[in-house]
Each structure stands twice: as structure tokens, then as C-alpha cells.
Amino acid sequence: MTMDDQQPTPRARTIDPGSLRALAHPLRMRILDLLTDEGPATSARLAERLGENTGTLSWHLRQLAEHGFIEEDEERGTRRERWWQRSTEKLTFNSDELTVDPATAQALDVYKRHYLERAFQRAARALATPRTPEWVGAGNMSDWGEVWMTPEQLGALGAELLAVIRRHVPEPDAPRPAEARPVLIQFQTLPMFGTESTGEEHPAGEEPRCAP
């Protein structure tokens, strides 16, 4: 991610329907999670971590590579052993395009559910991690309940939040200060339907906040 608009942005790729359908498989998404969290690995290592046989893992790795989600780590690989890493491309999803076909829309739902489950699991691990005194209170957990907005307002909110995050998050290859530690940043802006709520759970102007 970039610090500001003057710095180069990472390669971006908009996911097409065929690639989404290839990705929306439980095992493939778990493979991608491991490569993201733990770095490059061989099919044998991934098979061990996921409780699958190497042949099955190799086939799913080839599918992920064919659609550009992963690539070979040639610096680690040898003639006898192939290492895989997640592609450095930033993935974007065009919901308008991906919901036209029912099969693709279903794949998008599968991916979204996995994405949210993974976000919850990562947040739970972060909360369970002991903190040193200087980090106590540095985090933030907020929930405004149900806020009534138009599609335009929700889109503008998401765009502005992303812009703020990009300004503050260092580049991946930037020097790390000695006191820096891994930080989890998450936010969701999701429309809710089928609710009769009046939006009175949190009075106007109140900003529920929890600093873990």
C-alpha cells in the first residue's frame, strides 16, 4: 500500500469471473491464507499443515498458479523441489460484473464468507496476544451498530477510509523502526437488508470505542 499519491502503487488486478470461480474453493483459499501468513512453502509443507496428501495439494497449487494467485519462488526452488509464494498483485473485485452470472455470484458469496471468517480469526488471535505496556490502549475497536446511509454515502465513506489507511501504512520494503510490531488493520462497510431497526442502538454523535 502507498503512503501517498506520489509514490508508486503495487500492481493491481481485477478478478474476472473464471478466476473467482477457481479461487472460491475451501482448500485453495486455505492454501492462499497459509502462503500469506507464513510465506513461501512447498507442496509437501502445505500438505502437512493442511492434512492433505501432496498429490492433491500439487493439483490445487497448479490451479491457483494458472489463475495468477500464486507464483513460483525461483530463488528458493530447485530441480527437485518447487516453492510457491503468493502473487504480489493487489486483488480487486468488481461486484457488478461478478454478480451477473448465478454461478459466479455464488462463488463471490463463498469467497466473502471465507474472507469474513478469516478476518474474525485474525482479530481473535490479535486480541489473545499479550501486550507490553507501551501497546496497551494503542488499538481501537469500534462499532456504530446500524447506520442509515445511501449507496453514495457508503461508497464515499469507504473511499475516504481507504485513503487514510494508505497515507499511514508504510510501504512493505520501508525500513522498520526497532519498536515496530505487526499490526492488524480491518474495516468493513456492508449494507444490511431485511432489518426493521430504527438505528437507535447508538444515539447520534455517540462513537462506541474500545481500546484493547
The number of CA neighbours under 13 Å toward the Cβ of 138 is 13
Q: Cell 482479530, residue?
A: 123
What pLDDT score was predicted for residue 10? Answer: 54
Domain coordinates of the chain in residue numbers? 1-129, 134-212
Q: What is the pLDDT of residues 122-152, one digit of tens each?
A: 899 888 888 889 888 888 888 888 889 999 9
Weakest mean pLDDT among 31-35, 77-81, 170-174, 203-207:
203-207
- Whether the per-residue pLDDT at 205 is higher than 50: the answer is no
Weakest mean pLDDT among 90-94, 156-160, 191-195, 204-208:
204-208
Cα–chain center distance at 72: 21
Q: Which residues neighbour 176 within 8 Å (Cβ) at sequence distance 6 or greater?
A: 170
Q: What is the pLDDT of residues 39-69, one digit of tens each?
A: 999 999 999 999 999 999 999 999 999 999 9
Q: How confident is the model at residue 8 (pLDDT cuts 50, 70, 90)?
A: very low
End-to-end CA distance of the chain: 25
- Whether the per-residue pLDDT at 212 is higher than 80: the answer is no
Contact call for residues 118 and 33 (beta carbons, < 8 A): yes
Fold of 1-129: Arc Repressor Mutant, subunit A (1.10.10)
Cell matching residue 149:
446511509
CA distance 40 to 36: 8
Give SS3 for 87: coil
Contact call for residues 30 and 46 (beta carbons, < 8 A): no
Give the closest residue to 146 by CA, choosing from 87, 96, 196. Answer: 196
What pLDDT score was predicted for residue 53? Answer: 93
Contact call for residues 84 and 71 (beta carbons, < 8 A): yes
Contact call for residues 146 and 192 (beta carbons, < 8 A): yes
Give SS3 for 196: coil
On whether the pTM is more than 0.85, the answer is: no
Weakest mean pLDDT among 44-58, 76-90, 103-117:
76-90
CA distance 2 to 7: 6
Give SS3 for 21: helix
Q: What is the pLDDT of residues 11-27, one digit of tens each?
A: 678 899 999 999 999 99
Cell matching residue 207:
462513537
